[in-house]
Structure 1
Amino acid sequence: MSDGGEYGRAHDPAGPGGTDPAYGRDPGRLTTRTRLPGSEGSGGRPPTRPGRSLITIVAVVVLLIAAIAFANRGGGKEDGKGGGGSAEEGRNGGAQAQPTAPTGQKPVKPGTDTPASGFAHTEQGAQSAAANYAVALSGDGMFADSTRQKIVKAVYAPRVASDRMDDLDRVYTDPKFLRGIGLKKDGSAPKGSTFVARTIPVGAKVLDYKDNKARVAIWYSSLFGLAGEGSKTPVTESWYTNTFELSWLDGDWKVADFKQKEGPTPIGKDQAASSADEMADAVERFGGFTYAR
């Protein structure tokens, strides 16, 4: 690399080996030329220039006006739509999952022994219904006769509820099935153990939507097992995707049918498993959510 680098060559006013009286004898060292009144020629006056303070004031005023104009412009179109995101949608071609945004719809009605209800007659309402139904149909409430009947009646369309009730009763009262997961004949956990059956939706996607029909996929993680000393079925994590066929009936979304498949499943992180007491305490202390987009 030559002495002075690219910066020295680009700013040498006299060229290589030259001199310039305005910069001194050494062209490699730039010095400031000071012009005094009358130095431009005999009897000449220097051109009138505005003072530095005046230029500074003008610059500040221009910047202030520009900032006010920008701030006023920022609240225009986006405010009317209840949220931004247009730039992100443009970059991603509009094919990405959309974040939650205000819609003006009333919140869903949370239930006690039953899933939430009162979902909006929209694509977002269908996603909310599917997410809450996935939680209900995979939760510990399905293992008790009284709550199972309430859940099935609340979730399924009337024309399929009775058939599904018979099928689910056979599954959840099967002694062999209950014994295999460590539960007693009535579906309760042994003394000193806590039964864990909890679903955590990760995402929702509308596959098809036609006024009173919707097909929605819910990707979720599931915690299932018995937390207790000596448990042969400790709490484990699994990943599934449920695809719900929904119908709009009597002012709400109802399940006409659904299918389940495994995954997508992420790689598990190398974390030490919590003790049975810690897991049981977490399940009792942390309640579930009502899901709504």
Structure 2
Amino acid sequence: MSADGRRDDDDLYGGTGQTRTRLPEGSGDVYGGARRPGRSSSRSLVTVVGVVVLLIAAIAFANRGDGGSSDEGDGSSGPRAGAAPTAASGTKPVDSGFAHDRQGVQSAAANYAVQLVSADILKPGERGAILDRLFVADKVPALRSQFDKAYSKDFLSNVGLDENGNPAAGQTYVSRTVPVGTKVPSYAAGAATVEVWCTGAFGTAGEGSKTPVTNDWFTMTLKLRWVGGDWKVESFSQKDGPSPVNGDNKVSTADEISKAVEEYGGFTYAR
């Protein structure tokens, strides 16, 4: 998953308070009818990105090393990383590793970004398998401990989830990341750095939600190494933007958001 008040591995946002978004001329649904409010004040901006800030701050915390640089270390092989399904059926259309070239490492980075800011990584029962698939093997034990601390029971409660990462009855939790583009600042046969420009939807849809679904823009930088026939992550960091001007879009209802999450599966394979 701040999803985001995120600056880099060492800059965490401390605020975790959430407020209900009330839109003018609405139907009573926190998403209903009204136009999206503009960025006329710092207070409205904080409200819009609140849940994103919580998620990415937690990711930044989890990515901090125990006194060492997050850019160091290597690891051994593991199976290719999975991702959210491309169809509501859950069928995954790609079952092979990423190519050992510049396009392959961009594909890997884009898909790993999707997983690192996903709803699944908030679930203790699924987090371990995600870390095993994405990261070089010698990074996994420390990362597992750091992610478990970051996504604590209190944190999950603040974003409207129980200790297993599930929303309350009648609500739908959303954490969808969409890679917009990638670039490769450095590339060699055995290692590469990839920046993934992303947007996404984050929050909880449903009556009584204190963290309505909002969108955000951020860039994730991943350092990857070629091990065991696939690209694996050694370290990652995140920063805000680049962010376009918000469109004056009609806000959907909570039911519409929930239905979209159920009917539209997330992408698994980019490029």
Q: Choose which of 163, 180, 189 in structure 1 pairs with 2:142.
A: 163
Per the alignment, residue 150 of structure 1 pairs with: 129
Evaluate the alpha carbon distance shift between residue 236 and residue 146 of structure 1 in structure 2; reply closer, same or farther with a 3 A threshold: same
Equivalent residue number for residue 180 of structure 1 = 158
CA contact (8 A) 1:109 1:116 kept: no
CA distance in 2, matches of 1:176, 1:244: 28
The structure-2 alpha-carbon separation of the partners of 1:142 and 1:187, relative to structure 1 and needing over 3 Å to count, comes to same
Aligned residues with identical type, % of pairs:
45
Counterpart of 1:135? 114
The structural deviation recorded for 1:169 is 1.0
In structure 1, the partner of 2:237 is 259
The DSSP-based 3-state class of the residue aligned with 2:162 is: coil
Consecutive unaligned residues of structure 1, counting only runs of 5 or more, are: 1-107
C-alpha separation in 2, matches of 1:253 and 1:109: 9
Q: CA deviation at 1:251?
A: 0.2
- 1:271 and 1:116 map into 2 onto residues whose CA distance is 37
What are the superposed Cα offsets for residues 235-288 of structure 1, whole Å, 9 maximum, x if unpaired?
000111000000000000000001100100111100111000000000110001
TM superposition shift of 1:291: 2.4
Q: Which residue of 2 aligns with 1:196?
A: 174
The alignment partner of 1:163 has SS state of helix
CA distance in 2: counterparts of 1:291 and 1:219, whole angstroms:
15
SS in 1 for 2:225: strand
Q: Does residue 1:121 correspond to 2:78, yes or no? A: no
Q: C-alpha root-mean-square deviation of aligned residues, in Å? A: 2.0
Aligned to 1:36: none
CA shift for structure 1 position 180: 1.1
How many correspondences in the alignment? Answer: 185
CA separation of 1:187 and 1:229: change in aligned 2, threshold 3 A: same
**Unaligned 5+ runs, structure 2:** 1-79, 86-91
Would the aligned equivalents of 2:83 and 2:111 in 1 still touch at CA under 8 Å? Answer: no
CA distance, structure 2, for counterparts of residue 140 and residue 158 of structure 1: 23
Alignment partner of 1:132: what SS?
helix
* Distance apart, 1:111 and its partner CA: 5.9
| Alignment map for 1:39-58 (pairs within 5 Å) | none
Distance 1:111 1:264, change over 3 A: closer
The DSSP-based 3-state class of the residue aligned with 1:126 is: helix
Residue 214 of structure 1 corresponds to 192
CA distance in 2 between counterparts of 1:124 and 1:246 reads 13
Greater fraction of residues in helix? 1
CA displacement, residues 93-141 of structure 1 (integer Å, 9 cap, x when unaligned):
xxxxxxxxxxxxxxx9966799965000000000000000000111111
For residue 285 of structure 1, what is the aligned residue in structure 2?
263
CA distance in 1 between partners of 2:116 and 2:81 (Å): 18
Contact 1:116 1:290 in 2 (8 A): no
Q: Against the structure 1 CA distance between its residues 257 and 111, is the aligned structure 2 distance closer, same or farther, given a 3 Å change threshold?
A: closer
- The higher radius of gyration belongs to 1
* Code of the aligned partner of 2:125: S
Deviations along 1:179-223, one digit per CA (max 9) or x if unpaired, are 211111221100000000110000010110011000000000121
Contact 2:84 2:265 in 1 (8 A): no
Contact 1:116–1:132 (Cα < 8 Å) also in 2? no
Three-state SS of the structure 2 residue aligned to 1:278 is: helix
Matches within 5 A, 1:26-65: none
Alpha-carbon contact 1:117-1:129 (below 8 Å) kept: no
